[in-house]
Structure 1
Amino acid sequence: MLAATAISLLSSGAAYAAEGGANDALLRKLEKMEQRIQQLEAELKQKQDRPAADAEAKRTAKTAALASANAAAPSADTKNATAKPADQKTEPQSSEKSTKPKSKDFMALPPLPAASDKPILGLADSPVPGLSIGAYGEIKFGTMQNPAAGGQWQKGFDAARFVLLPTYAITPNIIFNAEIEFEHAGAGFDNDDKLHGTAEIEQVWIDFKIIDQFNWRSPGVDLVPFGYINQHHEPTQFYSVNRPELYNGIIPSTWKVPSTSVYGTITEDLKYQVMVSASNEDFGDSFDNRTDAKTVPLPGTAYIAGIDGVNALGFSRPPLGDFQQLNNATAMSGRLDFTPTFWAGFAGSISAYYSPNTTPRGAHDDFGNFLGRSSLAMFDAEFRYRVPDTGLELRGEYVRAEFGHPENLRANNDTDPTNNVGKSMYGYSGEIAYHVPLGTILNSEWEAVPFYRYTYMNLQTGGVAGTDANLPTGQGQRQYHTAGFAVFPSPKVVLKATYQRVIDKSATGALSDSFLGGVGFFF
């Protein structure tokens, strides 16, 4: 019995010794891990302990980007952040330009920027604490049919736009944003400079970041929260050379207005923006044709419609400067962005817009009869889906505009029967694309995205009483077949080639086909 007990004790001791040795080895490993963590923390602290101005500049600039990323509808603010690769665009995106990093708490200290993500055009650290400057632009070239020349094919070139995107974090909660745009190569048109362009403030406002659920955007110039491309219209965000067709009329992109708005995050899956703005106007003529009384030209003088059955709402946007608005109506608009966590790769939005009156002061027909009020209500639904673990991407969109009293629209009262407007306009599109990795070229991961998009628009849904003959001409009922590819040498640069076939029911046909190439950038 004693012998058995002794043997048992010796065995337990040996096991204990073995276990103790294992514990000692584990403790030594933990000590080494702790030393390594302390070393890494010291290295991180050394990087963060840079000169105060430099650290503050990066911190506030990145805080501005993160704060904007949490906005329900960031318009220009995503432009001031690093662009997301085209193949990631269907990941959760806010309504402004969802290329920014996400954060549930925009007050959290952001990570140090990478060398390619510095606040001044991605190239340099900011010389002013809180300042960040981005840019985007696009060049177009190719050949297209000119319907005004009987469908003759004509070659051309367009330095379409170059845009600067300054952002300044006044404080981590008060963020200034602007977008300064130069279009079509210049700011004027003189015989000796061969320019025919514009320079304009496309956006300017100050964000007051209050809480994730509720933030305020001060009165300024901002993008109407309607559709996706209107707020994400940089050339890296779509694959064709020109913007998708629904945004060239029914949605008058870039749709910018004098406005103020509130926005925020409802849940992790849902964001919102609600805007109050100046109303669109049924006046498409130049500023020279506005009287000093802020009315349309006096009866007896013709003027161009802002809403018609050929250009849709393309010329109806309200003026942005010098108290030149032609009516007192206030419009309301709003948008919900959803990025369901249970459906990886899917994102979408629904939008609405309403103006109680688009009729400008003094509106009249060509015979001197004054026109009454006409309201405008619009709806849009769109989705983007990047199928997980594949290169397949799908997009779709539907938009509709309803007119309260189309008989009071200028297009139905200008003695031109070809541009009449019915009770409504609508359009829809579907797009399929596939992302193909091309490998490493010039020290960058390249990607090709072949795509096809079908679009149908009906801008002349039927005859409505007015002074004109009110039968649809077929010119406003169009189909667009758009195919091509986009090559991304970097997520910030895109090379494009597009063929578009346009079909309508007019007597001559659309005569608007095109072969176009383009170069775009966004950083």
Structure 2
Amino acid sequence: MKNKLTLLLLTITFIGFAQTRQDSIQLDPQKQINAAQRILSGNSGKAVTVGAYGEMLYNQPEGDNGELDVQRLVLLFGYRFNDQIQFVTEVEFEHVEEVFIEQAFVNYNVADNVNLRGGLMLVPMGLINEFHEPTTFNGTERPAVDNAIVPTTWRELGIGVNGRFDNISLGYQAYIFNGFKSTESDGEGGVNGFLKGSNGLRSGRQKAIQSTVDSPTFSAKLDYYGLPGLRLGLSGYFGQTQAEDDVEDLDGANVGISMVGFDARYAYQRFTARGQFIYASLSDTDDYNSLTGRDLGSALMGWYVEGAFNLLPMMNKQKLFAFARYEQYDTHASTAGSLQRNDAYNRTDITTGLSYHITPGVVLKGDYQLRDNALSGGDVKNRLNFGIGVWF
């Protein structure tokens, strides 16, 4: 009995010391940090830090059966080797049955404003790719711009540097990554292409799964937080896609990518707003489409604006945000050669709903989406969504 009691006390003590601090979950954009940043900053004096976030959703397209899904559950683990070196990893379970490693990197703090980082990391582009924990954004589903254009969750293997200069209110990141996978042999004398018109670059994410490496890509982001309540981001990504050895010398096997993004977040008392713009220019898409039979556009573009208002008094710990978001995104913003633009890929979503934060780290969500595209007679079903999100 004594041994069991000792084991129970040790377990409780470990859990108490291992959790990241609850008060680090912030809605203020200038103080907001993501899951990996909480692990890195919240384990002072601890060897091991653990946490998690997850989403359970209900989606009801108009006229169709609804779908219930544990969309994702992500387990967070951090280990502090010493005051300078830490390891962070995120293990993601999607739809209960699929398992991925979302991040796994070593962070080496070499100076007050300089961290070296290497491993599997998020590409710093836009808002949601780095801040996709369910309590950090409105809407049951992530914005479609961050699905079809960015594309979230975008992570690759790489190495680089990051830090903050608080005296000038500027954060920076700069990394070298492996790139999107574009082509491989189909084993029958032809070539498979992973990039396509409907979702742009999304299917080319390698996710560190035996990733093909042909040439490195460069990614960087600057964050400015010098004005009260406002946070601005400017990001860029440049390089070539990756092709397997047996096809990389063929015309069109690789595609050049130049992507830039601008994002903004603002909060004042009970009002919050955010928005972002992403544009990607792709080269050699005519040769790529001829080689693979795909319909990849030569430019991708997307943007959205969102406003939200807390319906509860400011002194309340609970918050109830009513929000509306307008987004437009086109994976055929431009096409090259003989490829004709497909208006079905020029899409518009209007999302409005509620986000009820019953405590920091737990949110209940409900929204309705009006969805459309530029194709005459195009049939895009509106959708009703509900969800529960947690993060600790």
How high is the TM-score relative to the length of structure 1?
A: 0.66
What residue in structure 2 maps to residue 90 of structure 1?
29
Is the alpha carbon distance of 1:409 and 1:371 closer, same or farther for their aligned partners in structure 2, counting shifts above 3 Å? closer
Check if 1:432 corresponds to 2:331: no
What residue in structure 2 maps to residue 492 of structure 1?
361
Cα deviation for residue 160 of structure 1 reads: 0.6
Is the alpha carbon distance of 1:362 and 1:476 closer, same or farther for their aligned partners in structure 2, counting shifts above 3 Å? farther
CA distance, structure 1, for counterparts of residue 314 and residue 326 of structure 2:
30
Is the alpha carbon distance of 1:511 and 1:212 closer, same or farther for their aligned partners in structure 2, counting shifts above 3 Å? same
CA distance, structure 2, for counterparts of residue 81 and residue 377 of structure 1:
38
Q: What amino acid is the match of 1:427? A: G
CA distance, structure 1, for counterparts of residue 345 and residue 357 of structure 2:
34
CA distance, structure 1, for counterparts of residue 70 and residue 107 of structure 2:
31
Is the alpha carbon distance of 1:316 and 1:500 closer, same or farther for their aligned partners in structure 2, counting shifts above 3 Å? same
Q: What amino acid is the match of 1:82? A: Q
What residue in structure 2 maps to residue 276 of structure 1?
176
Cα deviation for residue 131 of structure 1 reads: 1.0
Q: What amino acid is the match of 1:336? A: L
Deviations 1:423-481 (A, max 9, x none): 211111100001122699xxx8321001000001121134422xxx5111201101110
Q: Which protein is richer in strand relative to its size?
A: 2
Cα deviation for residue 373 of structure 1 reads: 3.6
CA distance, structure 2, for counterparts of residue 413 and residue 315 of structure 1:
17
Identity %: 24
Deviations 1:39-68 (A, max 9, x none): xxxxxxxxxxxx9xx79x95xx79xxxxxx
Is the alpha carbon distance of 1:90 and 1:508 closer, same or farther for their aligned partners in structure 2, counting shifts above 3 Å? same
Which of the numbers 314, 326, 329 marks the counterpart of 1:457?
329
Q: What amino acid is the match of 2:200? A: A
Do the aligned partners of 2:322 and 2:353 also contact (CA within 8 Å) in 1? yes
Partner of 1:461, secondary structure, is strand
- Give the 5 Å matches for 1:314-393: 314-322=202-210, 324-325=211-212, 327-340=213-226, 343-363=227-247, 371-387=252-268, 390-393=269-272
RMSD: 3.0
CA distance, structure 1, for counterparts of residue 48 and residue 22 of structure 2:
15
Deviations 1:253-305 (A, max 9, x none): 1101011121112343001111111111225xxxxxxxxxxx431354563x3
Do the aligned partners of 1:351 and 1:380 also contact (CA within 8 Å) in 2? yes
How high is the TM-score relative to the length of structure 2?
A: 0.87
Which of the numbers 157, 171, 175 marks the counterpart of 1:258?
157
Structure 2, gaps ≥5 residues long: 1-9
Deviations 1:482-503 (A, max 9, x none): 1111001001100000111111
CA distance, structure 1, for counterparts of residue 39 and residue 245 of structure 2:
46
What residue in structure 1 maps to residue 4 of structure 2?
none
Deviations 1:179-224 (A, max 9, x none): 01111012xxxxxxxxxxx112111111111112211113x11111
Q: What amino acid is the match of 1:223? A: L
CA distance, structure 2, for counterparts of residue 321 and residue 162 of structure 1:
19
CA distance, structure 2, for counterparts of residue 362 and residue 505 of structure 1:
39
Cα deviation for residue 84 of structure 1 reads: 4.7
Partner of 1:89, secondary structure, is coil
Cα deviation for residue 308 of structure 1 reads: 1.9
Deviations 1:13-62 (A, max 9, x none): xxxxxxxxxxxxxxxxxxxxxxxxxxxxxxxxxxxxxx9xx79x95xx79
Aligned length: 378
Is the alpha carbon distance of 1:177 and 1:262 closer, same or farther for their aligned partners in structure 2, counting shifts above 3 Å? same
Partner of 2:286, secondary structure, is helix
Is the alpha carbon distance of 1:490 and 1:98 closer, same or farther for their aligned partners in structure 2, counting shifts above 3 Å? farther
Q: Which protein is richer in helix relative to its size?
A: 1
What residue in structure 2 maps to residue 15 of structure 1?
none
CA distance, structure 1, for counterparts of residue 162 and residue 319 of structure 2:
35
CA distance, structure 2, for counterparts of residue 229 and residue 211 of structure 1:
28
CA distance, structure 2, for counterparts of residue 167 and residue 281 of structure 1:
29
Cα deviation for residue 385 of structure 1 reads: 0.5
Q: What amino acid is the match of 2:61? A: M
Q: What amino acid is the match of 1:489? A: I
CA distance, structure 1, for counterparts of residue 361 and residue 288 of structure 2:
43
Q: What amino acid is the match of 2:87? A: F
Q: What amino acid is the match of 1:351? A: S
Do the aligned partners of 2:253 and 2:291 also contact (CA within 8 Å) in 1? no
Which contiguous aligned blocks of 4+ residues in structure 1 show a shift greater than 6 angstroms?
none
CA distance, structure 2, for counterparts of residue 453 and residue 380 of structure 1:
18
CA distance, structure 2, for counterparts of residue 250 and residue 439 of structure 1:
36
What residue in structure 2 maps to residue 308 of structure 1?
196
Is the alpha carbon distance of 1:408 and 1:398 closer, same or farther for their aligned partners in structure 2, counting shifts above 3 Å? same
Is the alpha carbon distance of 1:183 and 1:516 closer, same or farther for their aligned partners in structure 2, counting shifts above 3 Å? same
